[in-house]
Amino acid sequence: MSSGETIWTDDPPFPANAKRAVNNAQLRRNIRKATTTIRERRANLVGEMPDWQELRTSGAAIKDEVLRNLDRYLEQFEAAATGRGAQVHWARDADEANSIVASLVAATGETEVIKVKSMATQEIGLVRALAERGIAAYETDLAELIIQLGHDRPSHIVVPAIHKNRAEIREIFLKEMNDAPADLSDDPQALAEAARQHLRRKFFEAKVAISGANFAIAETGSLLVAESEGNGRMCLTLPDTLISVVGIEKLLPTFRDLEVFLQLLPRSSTGERMNPYNSVWTGVTPGDGPQNVHVILLDNGRTNVLRDEVGRQALRCIRCAACLNVCPVYERTGGHAYGATYPGPIGAVLTPQLVGVEHASELPFASSLCGYCYEVCPVKIDIPTVLVKLRHDAVRTGRHPVEGALFGAAGAAMKGRRRWTRALRLAPLMRFARRGGPPPLSRWTSVRNLPEPPDQSFRDWWVRQHESAREVIRERKRQ
Amino acid sequence: MSNDRETLRVALFATCLIDALFPDAGRATVQLLERLGQRVEFPLEQTCCGQMHANSGYFEVELVGRYVDVFSRYDAVVVPSASCAASIHHQHPMIARAAGDEALAVRAESVGSKTYELSQFLIDVLGTDDVGAYFPHRVTYHPTCHSVRLLGVGDRPLRLLRNVRGIDLVELPRWDECCGFGGTFAIKNPDTSAAMLADKMDAVIDTGAEVLCAGDRSCLMHIGGGLERIRAGVRTLHLVEILASTEDEYRPDRAPARSQPGAAPARSQRGAAPAATEEPPG
């Protein structure tokens, strides 16, 4: 079994990746600028909603209902979609999903396909898997196109090229896009126009498109893709064959539930009242749009997540990336540091659960637990609590025996009044390591002093102030 | 609740950090509460709430049990740390349940419900946002993440600070950004923590404040350690050290940098008189 590119196994762990990222001045500036902008837009639009908290509660409740009865909703979706002419496939993992897509494409005789931006296909590493089978898949989302042309990887769930500024994008286009105008400027409109001309031909030539879906409606068998550019809609309407890879947690019970999510998603993701393009399709509509419609329902670790009572709330995620945009860690490290398809706070809780915490044991620690992610999450995923739970799981794998021993010693000292009172009298020793000391202390003292220790602990002061002289003497004798 | 305040049995949970390294903040808490007419007890069996362990993945259910045992007999527990108060509220029941001890979880919820962060105790229990403090300095306040997002203290600390006589209170730019402490995060992800610290120090220095205050000594240890390293000339004080300061009593701005034996603050008439002033034991 392979989880595809859920984690990038060739990457070093988060702290090492992050060290490189925080020293990249260009990256720091690009990400700070972009996340600050989206964060402010979101805050303004959420602020105008009097029932935002109720919407969040509804969103969480609807998703929890789906997760509790996932088996039933999946079969309902399959029946409804099949009844409307779609073919539904089931994929346990990335390899199965990739094989199904590849054989469906092969059956059409095509060797080129166009793609709608989709996290599920990133997760399974579809583009690479298709390339290995001689099928070229072209990304049509502007940011994904930039990533693909730049031989790069996405670093954000909604804004995959957030780590690139327009000067860098211009250079990528000039170098990698054969039909880019020679006098291309870094004006955003000029860049978009160049991409538009480049993609237009692909849209008209392609016979097969591959997408994900933001939502899958169990009641009707419909899929929905929300996007900003309209490139997705080109892919969803022009080709003969449409193949959609959909995580099993994407289900909503009824069409009516979109009322909640189409308010939550655009405000949280791009800071818009409504996504410019919402495309919904249900199986095949004779004579209109793709006549050969496939849906691949993807597990790839999701049922493992479902097993964990605390962690399963991560499956409510609607991939809005609001948590990335407010995360102080993400803002300094960018997305690549997480070494995974899903970066940021949601990635830190989702990735270890999808692949097993032993394969991503540093990710739950990639957070200062500031709680901003939980505050903005449109489906109320309590990310800090899940992070702490996953840290608990991670330390139980026993991979850090020295750390475990240190915490054990500290814990032991805290389990007795006399032991603790004596331990605190060692504090003055800190005076000798305020600016240095061996690791792991040096990781603190490399940029900050330790405090000047006091002459006495609070409790020693208290005892002297509040106990009678006899009490003090008795205390001394006891020790 | 203010009618019952004379009869409240109030305990101080000093937190391990203040107990060990920042006794001035503990002393200021006692000073302030006694000035406001409370008789404060400090049960010596207390140690640590276990937050540092829990947030690092080590669930110390014994520390939860200890906290519950020590403090269940009081009407109210005052904690001069939003982070520890939030851990007591949210994490203690979770840790007890993870250990399969539902009875302890229920007791932890009960003790948690009468555990108050300092500013919550002053405003919600004692019903005052003017504690009669005097502190003639330029001060900026960093709302720590756990006070704002986990505990929801809102503007209580600022209301208290605004009523301090002589204070020149300036808003911290980008106040809602984490300082990068995060407990063992600072050790496990030192580079990211340092980057966050640098931005926070920039914001603090931008205000021109002499003093940075907050409701968590832990975050202040991190920011203050950074400010001291670069000789920024900004000192850090716990919120309570400012609130405890009056013209004729406790003056942290005039007090020596470290507490000296025998230099204990003068005590108010209502507080218990210091009984023993002999040489420190041990």
Q: In the predicted model, what is the mean pLDDT of residues B261-282?
A: 37
Q: Which of these, A178, A229, A172, lies nearest to A201 by C-alpha position? A: A178
Contacts of B281 in chain A (CB under 8 A): 460, 463-464, 472-473, 475-476, 479
Which pLDDT does position A10 carry in this prediction?
Answer: 83
Nearest chain B CA: its distance from A143 CA (Å): 26
Amino acid identity of residue A51, one-letter, is: D
**Chain A from 351 to 390: CB within 8 A of any B CB:** 364-372, 374-375, 384-385, 388
| A393 contacts B57? CB cut-off 8 A | yes
CA atoms within 13 A on the CB side of B96: 25
Out of A421, A465, A472, closest to residue B264 by CB: A465
Residue B234 pLDDT class (50, 70, 90 cuts): very high
Query: In this predicted model, what pLDDT tens digit does every residue of B9-44 receive, in sequence order?
Result: 999 999 999 999 999 999 999 999 999 999 999 999
Which pLDDT does position B258 carry in this prediction?
Answer: 41
| A448 contacts B275? CB cut-off 8 A | no
Query: In this predicted model, what pLDDT tens digit does every residue of B91-118 receive, in sequence order?
Result: 999 999 999 999 999 999 999 999 999 9
C-alpha B189: how far from chain center: 25
A295 touches A86 (CB < 8 A): yes
Does residue B274 have a cis peptide bond before it, meaning omega lies within 30 degrees of 0?
no
Where residue B100 falls (left for φ over 0; alpha for ψ -120 to 50; beta otherwise) is left
Out of B146, B183, B281, closest to residue A472 by CB: B281
Phi, psi values for residue A117, rounded to 5°: -55, 135
Q: In the predicted model, what is the mean pLDDT of residues B168-186?
A: 97
Out of A15, A23, A411, closest to residue B189 by CB: A15
| H-state helical runs in A238-363 | 258-269, 302-306, 322-326, 328-333, 344-355
Nearest chain B CA: its distance from A407 CA (Å): 7
Chain A interface mutation, best of B97, B174, B191, highest count of A Cβ atoms under 10 Å: B191
Nearest chain B CA: its distance from A419 CA (Å): 10
Q: In the predicted model, what is the mean pLDDT of residues B189-210?
A: 98
Q: In this complex, how many residue pairs, one in chain A and one in chain B, have their CB atoms less than 8 Å apart?
A: 232
Exposure pattern of A418-439 as b/e (b: 16+ CB <10 Å)?
eebbebbbebeebeeebeeeee
Phi, psi values for residue B197, rounded to 5°: -60, -40
Q: Quote the tokens at residue A143.
A: 């940011």
User: CA A83, A84, A85, A88 torsion: positive or negative?
Assistant: negative
Residue B252 pLDDT class (50, 70, 90 cuts): low
Determine the residue of chain A that is closest to B147 in CA distance: A370
Please list, in sequence order, all residues whose beta carbon lies within 8 angstroms of the beta carbon of residue B254, skipping any fewer than 6 positions away. Answer: none
Which domains does chain A show, CATH number per domain?
43-303 (3.40.50.10420), 415-478 (no CATH)
Which pLDDT does position B275 carry in this prediction?
Answer: 36
Q: Which of these, A38, A5, A56, A126, lies nearest to A327 by C-alpha position? A: A38
Residue B251 pLDDT class (50, 70, 90 cuts): low
Nearest chain B CA: its distance from A440 CA (Å): 7
Task: Give CA–CA dist B263/B256, Å, rounded.
Answer: 9
Helix (H) or strand (E) holding B212: strand B211-214
**Chain A from 285 to 344: CB within 8 A of any B CB:** 328-329, 332-333
Q: In the predicted model, what is the mean pLDDT of residues B155-181?
A: 98
| A451 contacts B178? CB cut-off 8 A | no
| A457 contacts B281? CB cut-off 8 A | no
**Chain B from 229 to 268: CB within 8 A of any A CB:** 229, 257-261, 264
Helix (H) or strand (E) holding A31: helix A25-47
Contacts of B177 in chain A (CB under 8 A): 328
Whether chain A has a CB inside 8 Å of the CB on B59: the answer is yes
Nearest chain B CA: its distance from A462 CA (Å): 8
Amino acid identity of residue B1, one-letter, is: M
| B62 contacts A415? CB cut-off 8 A | yes
| A457 contacts B94? CB cut-off 8 A | no
Look at domain B138-243 and name its CATH class: alpha beta
Where residue B180 falls (left for φ over 0; alpha for ψ -120 to 50; beta otherwise) is left
Nearest chain B CA: its distance from A450 CA (Å): 6
Q: Quote the tokens at residue A71.
A: 């088996």
Look-up of token digits 């007791």: B107
A235 touches A225 (CB < 8 A): no
Contacts of B53 in chain A (CB under 8 A): 407, 410-411
Task: Give CA–CA dist A31/B180, Å, rounded.
Answer: 17
Distances in Å between the alpha carbon of A456 and those of A165, A411, B14, B15, B23?
Answer: 54, 21, 14, 15, 8
Distances in Å between the alpha carbon of B121 and those of A39, A77, A158, A452, B87?
Answer: 33, 53, 43, 29, 17
Q: Quote the tokens at residue B76.
A: 């109210």
Mean pLDDT of chain B: 89
Which pLDDT does position A468 carry in this prediction?
Answer: 61
Averaged pLDDT, groups of 10, chain A, 479 residues long: 87 95 96 97 97 98 98 98 98 98 98 98 98 98 97 97 96 96 96 95 95 98 97 97 98 98 98 97 97 98 96 98 98 98 98 96 97 98 98 91 93 96 94 91 96 96 78 68
| Percent of chain B surpassing pLDDT 90 | 84
| B145 contacts A415? CB cut-off 8 A | no
| B23 contacts A458? CB cut-off 8 A | yes
For β-strands A292-298 and B40-41, DSSP reports them as: unpaired
Q: Quote the tokens at residue B187.
A: 């050790």
Which tops the pLDDT comparison, B1 or A84? A84
| A455 contacts B47? CB cut-off 8 A | no
Whether chain A has a CB inside 8 Å of the CB on B95: the answer is no
